[in-house]
Chain A
Amino acid sequence: MTNQNTISRESDLSGGEYKWGFVTDVETDLAPKGLSEDIVRLISAKKEEPGWLLEWRLRAYRHWVKLNESEGEPDWAMIDYPGIDYQDIYYYAAPKGTNEAPKSLDDVDPEMLATFEKLGIPLQERAALAGVAVDAVFDSVSVATTMEKQLGELGIIFCSFGNAVKNHPELVKKYLGSVVPYTDNFFATLNAAVFTDGSFVYIPPGVKCPIELMTYFRINTEGSGQFERTLIIADEGAYVSYLEGCTAPFRKTSQLHAATVELVALDNSEIKYSTIQNWFPGTPDGEGGVYNFVTKRGRADTDAKISWTQVETGSAITWKYPSVILKGDNSVGEFFSVALANNHQQADTGTKMIHIGKNTKSTIVSKGISAGKGNNTYRGQVQIMPGAENAVNHTQCDSLLVGDECGAHTVPYIEVRNPTARLEHEASTSKVSDDQLFYLMARGLSEEEAHHMIITGWSREVFKELPFEFALEAAQLLKVSLEGAVG
């Protein structure tokens, strides 16, 4: 009796290994663990900040202490994790020798440059060739900003947040907290108190930024949190496309990442913000990994457009809702997302579109992929305010399940306070079908290749919103994140 060797139908896609889990041996300047008013003052002093910024931080800190004593962390998301001990985190970890920001790449620790090489960041000359300007944030300090000079000729400011505070305080003071106030939410409040660096972009009126701007974030130090703050301002009629990438080394303890991003799109301008998030997701058994609690929001003035595109493959926990306040008439907000939850990852992500101006329009395309024991939740809010005549929203939420132990959830909130609004909501849940797998395999693709092709095809609507090279990177990242002992 012969038994036909059948293909395992429970495709084990869970064994994928994290490929960015190396640690760089750089001497680090650490402030003591724990959070206190002194630490906030120390961070501000280390960064030689002006008094108004320290004041702002302290107000945020005091507010956070109150929040922490009263309601604590927000608990409405569909995520489950052991409590975070805020006194057991390093709030300041700078690679040694970078208290003074490096003047050029020659001043940067070669170990660190090697790290960025490993990450495949187009630093140095490669940046120019690739047409990308890069700001790299290592732990919490901005390491090198390429092409600053070339951009400067157009009046574009692209630098670390710290440098912006020093060199362009009027811009920072005017816009910091204008979209995400320090009272916004628990994590944004924490970020306001202890943020250490991040990126700053200003595009002057009428200037179309000719290259993609990119920031690369990496958490290196064990037990450290990363609290970067990004502020992007597109002045009237300006355009910028900005991309951020994130990785962290393989650690068995969890790391906290609580970033804040504020976008200000003044009249008739456009900001396109793309994220490839690949923070360490934890081991396949659910140990360690980055807790990613991020607040991202933009304000679009008259005729302005803000577009968020995200590919979220990493982190043990993702809590993230890039949002747009459609304040000006005819403004446009977009959100395109692919979120993957594999092994024990939990993703609760989505967007908020708040329509205030007339004839405002928003589009939401959310694609959630769940594999292993992963849990993926889309949480979205579309709000049409009374003055938003003729507002239009289109929402599409698709979930894809790989295996039988994962979960997909959709939680859309819709609030309409103007009868002229038009809203559409579509949702679907599908599985990679045996028919699809067999069809591709019968043509010669391995089971793993077949899965990958089906999943990236399914995500294409979002990938095509990414700049070309990053679309390739995103597809590759999905493949690696889903890699396992298949076949």
Chain B
Amino acid sequence: MLEIKNLHASVVDIDDSEILRGIDLTVNKGEVHAIMGPNGSGKSTLVNVLMGRFDYEVTAGDILVNNESILALRPDQRAHLGMFLAFQYPAEIPGVRPWQFLKAALDSKAEANGEEKMSVRTFSKLFDEKVEAVGINPNLVKRSLNEGFSGGEKKRNEMLQLEVLKPTLAVLDETDSGLDVDALRIVAEGVNSMRSPERSFIVVTHYQRLLNYITPDVVHILVNGKIVKAGGAELALEVEKNGYKSYLAAAGANA
């Protein structure tokens, strides 16, 4: 599904700003991978580079999806391939209704893949169903996209999009340490209900807490732009107990 090979990336137009320093990671179909790391380890950069954000530049290595390099693809083209990023802080778009936005997203994906667009009626039905399933206040989705949404409502809205767009590779950016229990549960429910042999997940998180709700197949520890250790779900518990200190020391970074 996804192969990241010796990935190096820096911030565009800034010298000596390398953040990712050689990442290797393979995610097979149907697997859930967790990436954990301390602040400043490159977690956010990794998810943004995966989705093709323009502020970052890949200076070496490659990212393959279904054996093809996606480095030359724009974010929209990556989305059309089945990639999805659940944002930590989704942007607010005044005047754009979530319904309208999601229909446009679905249409552009269908168009790019030569599929028929979903009819308004079918979409409306699907939308209403999913709104109820993820527990968003139906009045909220009649307003502007993410504008005035609480943190939990934004998470629910991201999960709504995940469920409607049905990506094959979903990356969840939960790098923030400030997620409350409610938000954690929403994200976990979204992942667990969507887990399938055809769909892979990368869950990026600072704390182990989220992994109480989602059981990953593999846990990776990201420190100083490199994956320093990988293991099973028990690795997350070890980090919870001992922190990142020993990894930071080994990577030669400042704690």
Say whether A6 contacts B80, CB under 8 Å.
no
Q: Is B51 an interface residue (CB 8 A)?
A: yes
Specify which of A2, A436, A453 is in contact with B60 (CB 8 Å cutoff).
Answer: A2
Contact of A443 among B9, B57, B161 (CB under 8 A): B161
Residues of B within 8 A of A460 (CB): 94-96
User: With A439-B90, A457-B94 known to touch, is A4 a contact of B58 (CB < 8 Å)?
Assistant: yes
Does B18 belong to the interface (CB within 8 Å)? no
Q: Which residues on A sit within 8 Å (CB–CB) of B59? A: 1-3
- Within residues 9 to 34 of chain B, which ones have a CB less than 8 A from any CB in chain A? 9, 12
Contact check, A5 vs B104: say whether CB atoms are below 8 A apart: no
**Could you tell me if A453 and B161 are in contact, using CB atoms closer than 8 angstroms?**
no
User: What residues of B have a CB within 8 angstroms of the CB of A442 in the complex?
Assistant: 51-52, 75-76, 78-79, 84-85, 87
Are B52 and A4 within 8 A (Cβ)? yes
Contact indicator B144/A457 (Cβ below 8 Å): yes
Is A426 part of the binding interface, using a Cβ–Cβ cutoff of 8 Å? no
Q: In this complex, what residue of A is CB-closest to B92?
A: A436
Cβ of B62 < 8 Å from any Cβ of A? yes
Given contact pairs A4-B49, A440-B93, A446 touches B58 in the complex (Cβ within 8 A): no
Q: Is A31 an interface residue (CB 8 A)?
A: no
B117 at the interface (CB under 8 A from A): no
Within 8 A of B (CB), among A431-487: 433-436, 438-447, 449-450, 453-454, 456-461, 487
Bound-state CA distance A445–B101 (Å) is 9
For B94, list chain A residues within 8 Å (CB). 457-458, 460
With A5-B72, A438-B54 already in contact, the answer to whether A458 and B112 are too (CB < 8 A) is no
Chain A hits for B152, CB < 8 A: none
CB distance from B126 to the nearest CB of A (A): 16
Once the chains are docked, how many angstroms separate the CA of A447 from the CA of B100? 17
A290 to chain B, nearest CB (A): 29
Q: Which residues of B contact A446 (CB under 8 A)?
A: 74, 76, 108
B93 lies within 8 A of A436 (CB):
yes
Q: How many Å lie between the Cα of A1 and that of B62 in the bound state?
A: 10
B51, B56, B60, B106: the one within 8 Å of A1 (CB) = B60
**B112 contacts A5, C-beta separation under 8 Å:** no
- Shortest B128–chain A CB gap in Å is 19
Is the CB of A103 closer than 8 A to any CB of chain B? no
- Whether the Cβ atoms of B108 and A457 lie closer than 8 Å is no
- Contact: B165 with A443, CB < 8 Å? yes
With A1-B59, A2-B60, A436-B91 as known contacts, state yes or no: A7 contacts B75, CB within 8 Å. yes
User: Residues of A contacting B95 with CB < 8 Å?
Assistant: 456-461
| Closest residue on chain B to residue A5 by CB atoms | B72
Give min CB distance, B123 to chain A, whole Å: 15
Q: Does A9 contact B (CB under 8 A)?
A: yes
Contacting residues, chain A, for B76 (C-beta < 8 A): 441-447, 450
Q: Which residue of B lies closest to A463 (CB)?
A: B95
Contact B57 A487 (CB under 8 A): no
Within the complex, the shortest CB–CB distance from B206 to chain A, in Å, comes to: 21
Residues of B within 8 A of A457 (CB): 93-96, 144-145
B50-69 vs A: 1/0 string, CB under 8 Å? 01111111111110000001
**What chain A residues lie within 8 Å of B52 (beta carbons)?**
4, 7, 442
Given the known A-B contacts A453-B104, A457-B96, are A5 and B55 also in contact in the complex, defined by CB atoms under 8 Å?
A: no
A4 to B60, CA, bound (A): 9
A441 engages B79 (CB within 8 Å)? yes
Q: Are A444 and B105 in contact (CB under 8 A)?
A: yes
Query: What is the chain A residue whose CB lies nearest that of B147?
Result: A457
Partner of A438, one of B53, B144, B145: B53
Interface flags, A1-35, vs B, CB<8A=1, else 0: 11111110100000000000000000000000000
User: Please, what's the 1-or-0 string for A410-444, where 1 marks a CB less than 8 Å from any CB in chain B?
Assistant: 00000000000000000000000111101111111
A5 in contact with B93 given A443-B79, A443-B165, A445-B108 (CB within 8 Å): no
Instruction: Give a binary string over B144-185; 1 marks a CB under 8 Å from any A CB, 0 the rest.
Output: 110000000000000001000100000000000000000000
A3 close to B58 (CB less than 8 A): yes
Q: Determine whether the beta carbon of B61 is less than 8 Å from that of A2.
A: yes
Name the residue on A nearest B58 (C-beta): A4
Interface string of A124-142 (1 = CB under 8 A from B): 0000000000000000000
A454 touches B71 (CB 8 A): no
| A443–B91 CA distance with the chains assembled, in angstroms | 12
Rounded to whole angstroms, the CA-CA distance of A70 and B104 in the bound complex is 57
- A460 → B minimal CB distance (Å): 4
The interface residues of chain B lying within 8 Å CB-to-CB of A440 are 91, 93, 101, 105
> Shortest distance in angstroms between B159's beta carbon and chain A's nearest beta carbon?
14
Contact of B87 among A439, A454, A456 (CB under 8 A): A439
Which of B52, B71, B87, B91 is packed against the most chain A CB atoms within 10 Å? B91
A453 to chain B, nearest CB (A): 6
A294–chain B nearest beta-carbon distance, Å: 27
In chain A, what residue has the closest Cβ to B72? A5
Once A4-B9, A434-B55 are accepted as A-B contacts, the answer to whether A447 and B74 lie under 8 Å apart by CB is: yes
Complex Cα distance, B79 from A447, in Å, reads 13
- Chain A's closest residue to B104 (CB) is A445
- CB–CB B104/A6 < 8 A: no
Residues of B91-128 contacting chain A, CB below 8 A: 91-96, 100-102, 104-106, 108-109, 112
Q: Whole-angstrom distance between the alpha carbons of A7 and B48 in the complex?
A: 13
Nearest chain A CB to B130's CB is how many angstroms away? 15
Enumerate the 7 nearest inter-chain pairs by beta-carbon distance, A residue then B residue, closest first: A457-B95, A460-B95, A457-B96, A4-B58, A444-B79, A441-B75, A443-B105
Show the binding face of B for A, using Cβ within 8 Å.
Answer: 9, 12, 49, 51-62, 69, 71-76, 78-80, 84-85, 87, 89-96, 100-102, 104-106, 108-109, 112, 144-145, 161, 165
Can you spell out 22 A-B residue pairs with CB atoms less than 8 angstroms apart?
Answer: A1-B59, A2-B61, A2-B71, A5-B73, A6-B56, A7-B75, A434-B54, A434-B55, A435-B89, A436-B91, A439-B87, A441-B74, A441-B79, A442-B75, A442-B76, A442-B79, A442-B84, A443-B102, A443-B165, A449-B104, A453-B93, A457-B144
Given contacts A440-B101, A457-B95, 16 further A-B pairs with CB under 8 A are: A3-B58, A3-B71, A4-B52, A4-B56, A6-B54, A6-B57, A435-B89, A441-B75, A442-B76, A442-B78, A442-B87, A443-B161, A447-B76, A453-B101, A456-B96, A457-B144
